[in-house]
A and B are shown apart, each in its own frame.
Chain A
Amino acid sequence: MRYGFAVRIGPVGFRVGSAWPQPLHALTLLYRGYPSPCEAIPDFTVRLEPDGLLRRWIRPSIAIRGDYTLPEAAPLALRHGLLAAEMGMNLQMALGHRRFLLLHAATVEREGRVLILTGESGAGKSTLAALLGERGWRLMGDEFALIDCATGLVHAFPRAISLKNAAVSLFPAVEPDRWGPVLEATPKGTIRHLRPRHDAIARMDEPARAALILFPRFGFGETVREIGGAEVFVRLTQASTNYVALGEAGFTALTGLIVETPARAIDYPDGPAGIALVERLWNEVAR
């Protein structure tokens, strides 16, 4: 492919090929300072290809392809190339990653212990994790929690965080150069990427043990509910794209995680309330 870019995020190396330079310019800026894939051999390949013969030049349109592809996926406009690259990398992880147990979750760490925030997309976990990442927590990831099946430890995958543009106002102290470009009218609305803080990038290879699992729900009156382990198990298998593929190792890792780690469902009305609730439960309940 004409243009190429490679990056390592935590234990996963990617190469992204593109028929156009613009998506990779944006990607290079957003991921500056990140390491390269180990030994220059990436784990996954993403390809941003023209969707049709003429789409390289006329109303250019990106088909997201790679080692793993969803053939029916709608193409994206060239100006959304950064989003296409992100979706491509997510897709490789979701469909192809087998080394760690993957949970669709955000993770933040403090003092060697990890808070796992998991639940449906749009429930606010990325924003909450990003906020915590600016308040003394180390952001380990906003999309995927990686659980080592042998050790039970949580590994970081600190990619650039995808946030709704409306959430940008929640981060007034963040330096302007940590923000990616505004991407308007994408399939996910208007979004913007936030680079993790320097320490999150520098410490991406430091795993830590899970101490608390929260199922947060943004936009409701404050509530805390205990959840039984069986319900946690069901919800976490639903939040995992590779639990079944990992077989017994996945079973042992996930049940081990649940047995060892307290879990709560929380509702919260806004960012500050969410943070306060998290801090309180961290002190009261976390292992």
Chain B
Amino acid sequence: MSVSIALETTYRTPDSADFAPPVTLDGFTLVYHRPSGQTHMLAQPAPQILAALAQGDAAPIEIARRLAREHGLLDSEGDVVAVIAARMAELAELGIIRPV
């Protein structure tokens, strides 16, 4: 997927019932995804992205805004939205989130 498409993609809010209560160990968030039976170990900012997406369908740029409101800017260097878009594309490849 080219970078510009990834930036534009709007992702659906996942159904909260799809996840068992997450467990944080040592900076990583362990997530059991019920529809797939898979366990994922998510490093930051993936758990924060998922939490932001829980508020409503959004594209990476909107997620960046939500994260900035919640946590302050994640990373003042480089292109924050591009990083978020890349992580969201990875989450989509795992099947955890889906484009609208």
With both chains docked as a complex, state the minimum distance between the C-beta of B35 and any C-beta of chain A, in angstroms: 11
A64 to chain B, nearest CB (A): 30
- Residues in B neighbouring A247, C-beta threshold 8 A: 32, 37
Q: Does B44 sit at the interface, judged by CB under 8 A?
A: no
Count A-side interface residues using an 8 Å CB cutoff. 17
* B interface residues, Cβ below 8 angstroms from A: 20, 23, 25-28, 30, 32, 34, 37, 39, 41
A165 interface residue (CB < 8 Å to B): no
Report 5 cross-chain contacts, Cβ distance below 8 Å, ordered by A residue.
A230-B41, A237-B39, A243-B39, A244-B37, A248-B34
Q: Which A residue's beta carbon lies closest to that of B34?
A: A248
Alpha-carbon separation in the docked complex, A230 to B44 (Å): 13
Instruction: Report which A residues bind B (CB closer than 8 A).
Output: 228-234, 237, 243-244, 247-248, 251-252, 255, 258-259
Chain B residue at smallest Cβ distance from A246 = B37
Q: Interface majority SS on A: helix, strand, loop or mixed? A: helix
Chain B CB within 10 A, most for which of A230, A234, A259: A230
B26 touching A231, Cβ below 8 Å: yes
Looking at the assembled complex, report how far the CB atom of A58 sits from the nearest CB atom of chain B, in whole angstroms: 48
Assess the A233–B34 pair: CB atoms within 8 A.
Answer: no
Interface pair B20/A248, CB less than 8 Å apart: yes
Tell me, rounded to whole Å, the shortest Cβ–Cβ distance linking B41 to chain A.
Answer: 6
8 smallest beta-carbon distances between A and B, as pairs:
A229-B25, A228-B26, A251-B32, A230-B28, A255-B23, A230-B26, A229-B26, A230-B25
Provide the bound-state CA to CA distance between A228 and B41, in Å: 13
Query: In the complex, how many angstroms separate the beta carbon of B75 from the nearest chain A beta carbon?
Result: 21
